[in-house]
Copies of this chain bind each other. A is one copy, B any other.
């Protein structure tokens, strides 16, 4: 047992998830398990063409169908907006294949489906635009009146003197990369059950990551106080940033509930999933990098054209994430970024696992490998040489209180046997490296990034922990329980986590931006310290010592150095309640990282307090006849600050390698005329479990000074490294650069042929 693990009795131990047995026996409650008396089922009428005028809309037959309780159209919802540029239901035109036109609530799902079939929409088709290139061509038709060039928005960032840095560079290289639309393919489809039967109380059951957004937006749009909106975010089958906020189906269910006076459930079909989730769009990157001959990076100028589909959603945030991330991993003098969002008549895009940064990391990582090759430097060496460290401040003024990047690179390098393999593998075997960095929460969404937590200590010494942080499957509630248990000196199993109901849990910004362990973890720790103080009061009196000299460990309390006097935690708690004072122990805590808000103009500032780093090395084998790639092994080194639960850290790593592997090798929404041609798990190719590579886990613990017990994120950090590592390994295997994701067999064969042609 190392000194580190001895220090704690809970933290750092392998802990199976508290909800594991419930999940695996089907006892965990998901939204679809909730059945309310009188509940109706709703279905949405969607556009069957990608662009056109609505000439006629006839709902009369549907209204007459027995069992139909309400049919709503634009007449009912008016100018109710569901995004910055999207009306909830369309009035005069449709802009994508799937655009919401009407909705039906009926006594059961079959009746609702039948009613949808009875609604007749007549269109006058208009010329659609399916690519960014078409959309920004000079004479293209205009998709939204407010944008005559089809540009939806753009973001320009510049940190440092890029002109000077380029002029000082000894070598400059430019590459272009493409990442095709992908989808996160949640285990649980999008779903909402809404009860808005009373005019001033709205309850939403739905898997969501940020309940605050739903409350804020619904409050604003329906004109009822935020506190009268209750969000029940039960278990969720994956989120991957795709369930951060309110979507059309939430509003449609709400409007139907208000009209019928009944709760209304909407369950999205597999096909709808691809319309509702709005996975990542099509990315077109151009990277221009200046560098010294010895491999010292000077400057990056990156350009991104992003197809955002028919409507805007949160795509602007994607640009922000990418712009900042460009200069967070390697030291450089300056960086410039221009990101443009372009409307098309594809379905609206949004987030995808890794939130856009993964696409950028693939491009930049591949680009860096080409530069290294040009300069005759080992890909590991060029990364190590430029890797940021604890003393470094980035051009945008980001600082690192802890930084394990170099350690990650070195450990992955050693463990993977890179030295013996790179350039020495048999033909069509390849090895590649990828690195990544990501924040652990921080300011951005609000002026604050607050999490609050509460504990009730029951008289039998068990503790209820109230948190507004959702657990979307990553095991964050178990991590919170471990932090609570360690702080109170009890066992993880003694903690019951209570979550999933905004009427009951204290404020929490939510499960986004990798903030859970770091920010909510700190709040939980503070709440438990508050409770511990109250318990210590009783114990200190009993032992006749100062509270500060008490040890809380293994369900016992004793004065430091006097373990033989130990009294059980339970007994002290019982005594506290059954005292003359009758003190019931309740602890409160909150945490708002004292980070800077970003400057609104320059985007400079250190808006997060902690950042985690990683390096991954992948080995692949390519079949030159079929173009099939076999991912053999991935060595993952990730700096998590402190592994609260090593088992869960490994689980998070495995899940992200899996997802990164899918994004690199398999996943693509095949688009044709604005339609997803493969909208189901039969046709949309996810990796299967037997395709998982051997994974070597290297947990790097830099013990962050701000994190709870030193912990940082392991939320979307590892996946930042995976796509690059695999793509670089494939390039290394076939000896030709890969510049488009996913690397399908077709694209690999094309690259092999191209290489032969160029010889």
Contacts and interface: CB of A to CB of B under 8 A. Distances in A.
Interface of A: 27, 33, 35, 37, 198, 219, 225-228, 446-450, 452, 454, 456, 458-460, 462, 464, 466, 496, 498, 503-504, 506-507, 577-584, 586, 588, 590-592, 594
B498 A458 contact: no
Contact of A503 (B227, B447, B464): B464
20 contacts: A33-B37, A35-B35, A219-B460, A225-B462, A226-B458, A228-B462, A447-B578, A447-B579, A448-B582, A449-B582, A450-B583, A456-B506, A459-B507, A504-B504, A506-B584, A507-B577, A582-B590, A582-B591, A582-B592, A583-B590
A448 B579 contact: yes
A450 B33 contact: no
A339 to B, nearest CB: 28
Contact of A448 (B447, B448, B462, B578): B578
A466 B501 CA distance: 14
A588 B455 CA distance: 11
A586 B452 contact: yes
Most buried by B among A33, A452, A459, A586: A586
Contacts of A579: 447-448
Contacts of A450: 577, 582-584
Contacts of A448: 577-580, 582
A449 B578 CA distance: 9
Given A219-B460, A450-B577, A456-B507, 14 more contacts: A35-B35, A226-B458, A227-B496, A448-B579, A498-B503, A498-B504, A506-B584, A506-B586, A580-B592, A581-B592, A582-B591, A583-B592, A586-B588, A588-B588
A42 B487 CA distance: 45
A335 B462 CA distance: 46
A577 B506 CA distance: 12
Contacts of A226: 458-460, 462
Secondary structure of the A contact surface, majority rule: loop
A522 to B, nearest CB: 11
What's the number of copies of this chain in the assembled complex?
2
Contacts of A460: 219, 225-227
Nearest to A460: B226
A579 B450 CA distance: 10
A578 B462 CA distance: 33
Nearest to A27: B198
A584 B446 contact: no
Contacts of A449: 582
B584 A452 contact: yes
A574 to B, nearest CB: 10
A588 B586 CA distance: 7
Nearest to A226: B460
Contacts of A583: 450, 590, 592
A449 B579 CA distance: 10
Kindly list the 7 A-B residue pairs having the minimum CB-CB distance in the complex, ordered from nearest. Answer: A582-B592, A450-B582, A448-B582, A227-B462, A452-B584, A507-B584, A586-B588
A578 B446 contact: yes
Contacts of A590: 582-584, 586
A323 B134 CA distance: 93
Contacts of A27: 198
A36 B64 CA distance: 33
Contacts of A454: 454, 586
Nearest to A198: B27
Contacts of A586: 452, 454, 506, 588, 590
A195 B635 CA distance: 46
Nearest to A579: B448
Nearest to A534: B588
A37 B37 contact: no
Contacts of A577: 448, 450, 507
A292 to B, nearest CB: 41
Contacts of A458: 226-227, 507
Nearest to A216: B459
A431 to B, nearest CB: 45
Nearest to A586: B588
A496 B502 CA distance: 12
A385 B27 CA distance: 67
A151 to B, nearest CB: 33
Contacts of A227: 458, 460, 462, 464, 496
A144 B144 CA distance: 87
Contacts of A594: 580
Contacts of A504: 464, 466, 498, 504
Contacts of A35: 35, 37
A582 B609 CA distance: 15
B496 A503 contact: yes
Contacts of A459: 226, 507
Contacts of A578: 446-448
Nearest to A454: B586
A446 B466 CA distance: 27
A752 B447 CA distance: 82
Most buried by B among A456, A504, A506, A580: A456
Most buried by B among A226, A227, A449, A579: A227
Contacts of A198: 27
A657 B503 CA distance: 38
A510 to B, nearest CB: 14
Contacts of A33: 37
Nearest to A25: B198
A588 B466 CA distance: 14
Contacts of A588: 586, 588
A533 to B, nearest CB: 12
A518 to B, nearest CB: 14
A431 B589 CA distance: 61
Nearest to A462: B227
Contacts of A591: 582
A30 B388 CA distance: 61
A421 B482 CA distance: 74
Contacts of A466: 504
Most buried by B among A464, A503, A507, A578: A507
Nearest to A583: B590
A86 B33 CA distance: 40
A228 to B, nearest CB: 8
A586 B466 CA distance: 12
A579 B448 CA distance: 7
Nearest to A219: B460
